[in-house]
DNA sequence: CACAGGATATACT
DNA sequence: GTATATCCTGTGA
């Protein structure tokens, strides 16, 4: 991984969640620019890691830079980047991408025309990239994944997290300011 | 073994 | 705006 990105991942989930916005993520060459993330800290009631390590969330307690995938509402897959401090269950939820590579492949998988809807939401993003449980525990810095930092620092807008029932007031949602590819407008934060 | 509940997307009113 | 699909995990009997 790039030294700059490694250093930022090592700070905190919040630093990492900011640093990931603007990065380019692909799986088998299909993907785009990360435009929206959410931080899930240790000691965070909304985090899957909060009740402690289990079989499902084991990846969260592993090394940073790996992918944690879980099924949401019995329907969708959600993808998270494991962060420092290692072993504490800190992770960043990937909520939206700006599609830049393999757009036609994503359209086929999602069966929608509008590019803005291809990866706008955690479930949509995983469907477009073809991420599922088989990718849980894989290193994002190794093939078939590619994760590289932006050329210039992204301008970040913050807001409250989405779709959770605990600690929803925490402004731990980070987005690329002004991007039309976010899953929904930011509120507060 | 049974069952509640969840970091959502979509279709429909 | 709200209904609802759909399934796996974690917890407790």
pLDDT in tens, A2-46: 666 666 655 689 999 999 999 999 999 999 999 999 999 988 999
Beta carbons of A134 and A106 less than 8 angstroms apart: no
Question: What backbone phi and psi angles, to 5 degrees, belong to A79?
Answer: -115, 135
A73 C-beta neighbours (distance < 10 Å), count: 8
Task: Please report the pLDDT score of residue A187 as a whole number.
Answer: 63
What is the CA A44 to C1' C12 distance in angstroms? 24
Nucleotide closest to residue A51 (CA–C1'):
C10
What is the CA A40 to C1' C2 distance in angstroms? 28
Nucleotide closest to residue A133 (CA–C1'):
C8
- The set of residues, in sequence order, having a beta carbon less than 8 Å from that of A98 and lying 6+ positions away, is A32, A33, A35, A119, A176, A179, A181
- The pTM of this model reads 0.93
For residue A103, CA distances in Å to A81, A116, A137 come to: 23, 11, 26
């Amino acid at each position: 991984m790039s030294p700059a990105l490694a250093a930022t991942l090592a700070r905190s989930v919040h630093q990492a969640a900011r640093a990931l916005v603007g990065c380019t993520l692909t799986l088998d060459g299909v993907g785009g620019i990360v435009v929206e993330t959410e931080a899930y800290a240790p000691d965070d009631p909304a985090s899957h890691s909060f009740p402690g390590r289990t079989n499902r969330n084991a990846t969260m307690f592993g090394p940073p830079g790996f992918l944690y995938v879980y099924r949401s509402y019995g329907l969708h897959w959600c993808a998270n980047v494991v962060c420092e401090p290692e072993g504490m269950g800190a992770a960043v939820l990937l909520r939206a991408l700006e599609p830049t590579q393999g757009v036609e492949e994503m359209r086929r998988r999602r069966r929608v025309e509008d590019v803005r809807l291809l990866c706008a939401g955690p479930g949509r993003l995983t469907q477009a990239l073809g991420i599922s449980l088989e990718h849980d525990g894989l290193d994002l810095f190794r093939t078939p994944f590619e994760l590289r930092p932006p050329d210039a620092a992204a301008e970040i807008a913050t807001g409250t997290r989405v779709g959770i029932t605990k600690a929803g007031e925490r402004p731990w949602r980070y987005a690329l300011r002004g991007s039309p590819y976010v899953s929904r407008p930011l509120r507060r934060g």
